[in-house]
Amino acid sequence: METALVTGANRGIGYALVKALVDSDFRVLAGCRDLENSVGLKKLESSGSIQILELDVSSDESVEAAARKSPDRIDIIVNNAGLMPERGNESIAEIDFNHLRSAFEVNVLGAARVIRSFLPRLRRSNRPRILNVSSGLGSIAERDSSTYYAYAVSKAALNMLTRSTAFEFAPEGITVVAISPGWVRTDMGGEEADISPEESAAALVEAIRKIGPNLSGKFLDRFGQTGKYVW
């Protein structure tokens, strides 16, 4: 049985992914910042399906403590925790720079913290994979508007982190990909989005099953396929 760590696991895509992984016979480490708002996860934990980890990706100490409480070996890291702090229509002349700071703290540095702290455990896997949950808004080539400055710029930076770590870890056989979950009906995606969290999660599980070193350093859609998204 493989073990997957999912950050931002108490709501939205993260929660749906935890449930889908459990249903697919994975052992799941469910990382979440706010344990008080993790009622659904606690029900799953009581059944023995998951282990909840208090994990705030914006804190070095929290991520390191979560790693110490984890099993000696994990096979998959899903850096799902994310933040879209702005309204989306701000100009560069008016945007609060704290939006940019907070987006980078969670969306970029958060992923880097998790990778660094859990890397020793990932290295013990026979088939280690890292999935950094990105977005089409992080594509520089496809950028055609000035909306969502903080979120889009931070996801572009996450894509570069993905590409860079893919090259660093290639000699060890660690697969690192950026993956878009699609436009999902969550608090972040809004009610007009294309798909439900459950539909996104089902596709992501299949991607987790099949990705390997041949896809490392790629920007994938939720099905684990190339071609839809470009850097």
Provide the CATH number for the domain around residue 147: 3.40.50.720
Rounded Cα gap, residues 83 and 231, in angstroms: 20
Question: Which tokens sit at 6?
Answer: 């999912």
Confirm whether pTM is higher than 0.85.
yes
Residue at 226 is within a domain: no
Residue at 227 is within a domain: no
Residue at 230 is within a domain: no
Residue at 10 is within a domain: yes
Where in the sequence is the domain holding 139, given as residue range(s)?
A: 3-220
Rounded Cα gap, residues 181 and 87, in angstroms: 21
pLDDT value, residue 97? 97
Q: Domain tally for the chain?
A: 1
Residue at 228 is within a domain: no
User: Of the residues 15, 148, 151, 229, which is catalytic?
Assistant: 151
A 10 A CB-CB count for 126 gives 8
Our answer to whether residue 151 is catalytic in this structure is yes
pLDDT value, residue 40? 85
Residue at 138 is within a domain: yes
Residue at 229 is within a domain: no
pLDDT value, residue 218? 98
A 10 A CB-CB count for 210 gives 10
Q: Which residues pair with 79 in a beta bridge?
A: 132
Ordered per-residue pLDDT tens for the chain, 231 residues: 999 999 999 999 999 999 999 999 999 999 999 887 788 898 888 777 899 999 999 999 999 999 999 999 999 999 999 999 999 999 999 999 999 999 999 999 999 999 999 999 999 999 999 999 999 999 999 999 999 999 999 999 999 999 999 999 999 999 999 999 998 887 777 777 788 999 999 999 999 999 999 999 999 999 999 999 999
Residue at 156 is within a domain: yes
With beta carbons less than 8 A apart as the criterion, state whether 220 and 197 touch: no
